[in-house]
Amino acid sequence: MPTSSGSDTLELNVLNGLAESFSLRSESIIRNLAIGSEHFISSQDLSVPSDVASKDLFSAWWRSFLDDEFNYGPKVEFGSRFVTFIDLFSSVGGLSLGFQEACKAAGIQSIPLLAVDVDELALRIHKSNHQTERTLNQSVASMVDFKVEGQGESASFGYAPELVGETAKNLRDKVDVIIAGPPCQGHSTLNNHSRSDDPRNYLYLTVPALAVALNAKAVIIENVPNVVNDKDSVVASAIKLLTDNGFSVSDGVLYAHHFGWPQTRKRYFVVASRESAPLSLRAISEQFKRNPLPVTWAISDFEIEREDGKNIMNQLPEMSEENLERVNWLFDNDAYELPNHARPVCHQDGHTYPSVYGRMRPNQPAPTLTTGFMSPGRGRFIHPLQRRMLTPREAARLQGFPNWFNFLDGDRTKRSDLGKWIGDAVPSILGYFATMALIKQL
């Protein structure tokens, strides 16, 4: 609707005093976040023509976010507010990206004190992109000594969790927010052998233990939705441990495409705060729901490089002659799923994954990306308009990483690294809205 200044404004609902709106002024797009009676303004240069942007201001903002090549980011008036946070099981920092964007929307300066992961190279990428003050290349479990007695509603700490190591001890009373993405392979529906019964699942409980030991003010934990079916009830246990130690909790599944994002990815979040109850994640999902954008919104107009190109982010993944023939069949027949006769012999007697060797539909969001997005045999990952696979950069954009985000560390970054980091990431839009549940407290 027009404002008094003549610009176009889109308002995305109001939830308990929280409202977000976008307006168009000249060659910039303006974001206005209202929290109660306070308003926080940020702006960024448009990367699409203004006549295109005016048709969907929300998508214009996020498209400009993705298209940013130099990490200029939105222009934000930071007040006196700042929050410190640490990123556990961090990988390269997809969750950090969404968390920090939400803080910017509210005029809050976010300071990443620490990232912890067993992947040393991922930590180097995290530090270079987020300017993380310190990284710790070890298991998160090595930072805290704790014992949990009972499960689910009966869970309790056997004794007060104790910090281990100088790095952890120096952070006590200095951390406002813990964000964490514990390993999800043990919970994934793709992992039929160890699903819901994997020793890594216990790592989930290190997060509430560290929240208590560090005296943190708030917590955001993300994982795959199937984590709630863990045989040891790690989610119910974590929530009980948090509530017993002064936290109010909201939990639930957030769907990226429900917020307008061009990928059908879903993650389960636990959001907790000591100050007051966080907003309901279900209410946020309902109030800020939008029609999903098509996959082409994020990956159109991208140049690719040959195999010997310098930037592997824009290189095409290799394909066998057989897979090239399968891709050509899809385009020659204007099809999006491969018939049985064109599939490998092991698939021709029946299979439960019809999307494998599939082509993405240009007018629909992408399917959930996995670490196998560079292979047609791992899912519906064939480009919707061109006879090829996605490049790592295109996949990164579908996961909400802007163009400025650098995954390369000289020659150390390999294709397998990119597949893991990008495929396992949390889309920044999900981190953004999960953090909105805490934005009043922050």
Catalytic residue list contains 346: no
Q: Residue 306, Cβ neighbours under 10 Å: how many?
A: 8
Residue 83: name the closest of 62, 59, 53, 105 by CA: 105
Q: What Å distances lie between residue 2 and 23, 24, 35, 218, 305, CA to CA? A: 9, 10, 21, 38, 44
Active-site residue among 12, 105, 179, 184?
184
Residue 262: name the closest of 290, 282, 221, 224 by CA: 290
What single string gives the DSSP state of each residue in 34-61? EETTEEEEEEEE-SS-HHHHTT-HHHHH
Residue 430: name the closest of 296, 259, 287 by CA: 259
Question: Which tokens go with 108?
Answer: 């809050």
**∠ CA 211-34-256, rounded to 5°:** 60
Q: How far apart are CA 177 and CA 264, in angstroms?
A: 28
Beta-bridge partner residues of 266: 255
- Residues with a known catalytic role: 184
